[in-house]
């Protein structure tokens, strides 16, 4: 009975949250959660909207299994946080998501990063100096 309840709750939550949309590359899926609206609107106004979707910056590029694992983990964490109401008003990235985004920066901007790293040490971080790139909500 408990297994059936869990399966039913999972199916209901997946359908209610339009879970299938998160398997796509459509940025509109991210605004299924109203708390993402400011980030989405800022992304639409920025230069990355013409070149990159949410997945391009927030999902691994190296293989599909890693991409689905990160999306699944983030989906679960987001569902839990928004269902329970336990999240910060100012959204912030987890250490895993910071690493994923940093790798995405380096993947897409490989040539510029390669030139920058040649001038400094390997401890440089794209995100540390360009935290608002993609969806600066402070404007």
Q: What is the pLDDT of residues 35-59, one digit of tens each?
A: 888 889 999 998 899 999 999 999 9
Residue from 19, 25, 33 nearest 72 by CA: 19
Q: What is the pLDDT of residues 60-105, one digit of tens each?
A: 998 999 999 999 898 888 888 888 888 887 778 899 999 999 999 9
Tokens read off for 130: 């360009």
Q: Give the number of other Cβ atoms within 10 Å of residue 34's Cβ.
A: 8
Length of the chain: 139
Residue from 37, 31, 39, 24 nearest 133 by CA: 39
């Amino acid at each position: 009975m408990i297994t059936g309840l869990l399966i039913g709750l999972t199916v209901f939550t997946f359908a209610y949250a339009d879970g299938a949309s998160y398997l796509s590359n459509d940025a509109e899926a991210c605004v299924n959660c109203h708390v993402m609206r400011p980030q989405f609107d800022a992304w639409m106004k920025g230069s990355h909207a013409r070149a990159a979707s949410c997945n391009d910056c927030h999902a691994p590029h190296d293989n599909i299994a890693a991409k689905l694992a990160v999306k699944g983990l983030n989906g679960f964490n987001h569902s839990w946080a928004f269902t329970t109401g336990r999240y910060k008003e100012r959204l912030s990235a987890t250490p895993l998501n910071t690493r994923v985004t940093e790798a995405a920066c380096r993947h897409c901007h490989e040539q510029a990063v390669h030139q920058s790293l040649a001038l400094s040490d390997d401890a440089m971080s794209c995100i540390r100096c360009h935290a608002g790139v993609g969806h600066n909500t402070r404007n």
